[in-house]
Structure 1
């Protein structure tokens, strides 16, 4: 017959708090005996595992919330990863905790203290886990980089994990929240079809310099028969099309750059002109990019009267 703690260990991927074991009737002597025999392993002063090897991903999550105790939850980009966010991994597990909790610091954990109602934002799962929307909004509010915060919002929408409307509804319940005004503008851009921070920068630059907003993520079939999507396109009155491709940091990779050049050649036609800019240009020097586009014939917004 299984021990009383074994079912709980199964639910928590073999991670147990000292207090949970004592509540189930496991004595201090029994804990010491299992640790001494090499069957169990202390991971913090209050949490142990029924395995002794390196912790897997799920065990790291449980370690965080059990170490911090009731009133804590997995949050930030860690929670977003649990909800399915790709390519935004961080080394540390983020745990959001009630500001009144007291515990020892653990190097593997990023602890975020808050007076906000964590329990109202929990996802309906066994692991104490923030829902995606409050997790990402809280991350964005307190990350050092506003652009990283905007990028995280764009990523969860682009990857189909949530919608601008759901993020906006959650944001409305979280006020006051740092960067709320910026987030509302970001969500308006995302609702308009922007898929990345660079695309949002293009959209804002167009508004600032009076340029007609582009068609975004338009599908094209290249000469090899592959379907491609362009970043931004403008249809000119003379039948030509100007395409702007915005290059992020990953384009600095030699193999990626080579693939991008090949892609550009294959979707270029006598009536389709493709120009490129770096993401840092459209962010820091949007006027220069807009001036070049205007010189190529990209139209300006017609003013009333």
Structure 2
């Protein structure tokens, strides 16, 4: 009966106007359900598509412009594909929340267990037992809160390096704090990256200086490198300063960089301290704690080369 219903031209124009207003708030996209709820029949929707006034986006969404679909429109469409309880999650939620300097070609959505996921090019609908309505933001495209999204992005990342990056960038860009990130991580009881994520968040919290130095010493012993002198005191023009890890006999210093070293307030004093060390005759290697977590072999290969350049010889 619904398919045979006909609207006058004025009625149809009013309906199309309401749909266009909804689409304007959603990046040019509406769900099929929204179009039907506004008063269009399925036949009238098909007519708009046949006339190429509208275009399909995956299976449940419609884009009113017929050109390229906007990023915001794709975000809304991805949520519509997931159904009533879907929300952007992981890196897609971070991008929708304002994360910059990170690109993704996949739109990830989380739904509760029991929902049958849909498939489409560039669409990743994930069922998760961790889904909770309390994790949803209160404005904009439906998505998880930044701390939750960052933790899940790290869990779903392809590599440990990408996982560390997705935890670090939202804090550096001011989208969340390390404290909120830590609270979100406490909800994760089992995951293959749980230990890595705890280490990265601990780094972000700033309580990592001694941890990083101890890790360096332990890695040196494990790799057959000489154990360093730690927390060596030197004097500069502005008074005393400490070197994180130092081999005085081999004129090598390794500065362990926590997350705070990438902030503007640390750049100048760190550079001045490093220059003083170099002018004093030592070489300085920088070891980011994130590098210690995800690229230890590469960094300790450099440490070994630095020690050998300073005169250290491996035992026969």
TM-score, length-normalised on structure 2? Answer: 0.67
Deviation at residue 150 of structure 1 after TM alignment: 2.1
Task: Please identify which structure carries the higher helix content.
Answer: 2
CA contact (8 A) 2:230 2:246 kept: no
How big is the shift at 1:29? 2.6
1:206/1:82 Cα in 2 relative to 1: closer, same or farther (>3 Å)? farther
Aligned residues of 2:93 and 2:143 also touching (Cα < 8 A): yes
Cα–Cα, structure 1 residues 127 and 213, in superposed 2: closer, same or farther, change >3 Å? farther
- The separation in 2 between residues aligned to 1:12 and 1:154, in whole angstroms, is 29
Q: 3-state DSSP class of the match of 1:95? A: strand
| Residue matched to 1:301 | none
Unpaired segments ≥5 residues, structure 2: 1-12, 221-226, 233-242, 258-270, 312-316
- The alpha carbon displacement at 1:237 in A equals 8.7
Q: Which residue pairs with 2:74 in the alignment?
A: 60
Count residues with an aligned counterpart. Answer: 259
Query: 1:174, 1:50 → 2: CA distance?
Result: 40
Give the whole-Å Cα distance in 2 for the aligned partners of 1:97 and 1:147: 26
Instruction: Tell me the residue number matched to 2:297.
Output: 284
CA RMSD after TM alignment: 3.9
Given that 2:90 and 2:156 are in contact with CA atoms closer than 8 Å, whether structure 1 keeps it comes out as: no
**Match runs of 1:1-305 below 5 Å:** 2=14, 3-192=17-206, 204-206=215-217, 208-209=219-220, 211=228, 242=253, 267=275, 270-271=279-280, 273-276=282-285, 283-284=296-297
Q: Deviations over 1:132-184 (max 9, x none)?
A: 11111112223342332123212222333222211111112343444323322
State the 1:201 CA deviation.
7.2
The answer for unaligned runs of 5 or more in structure 1 is 216-231, 247-262, 298-305
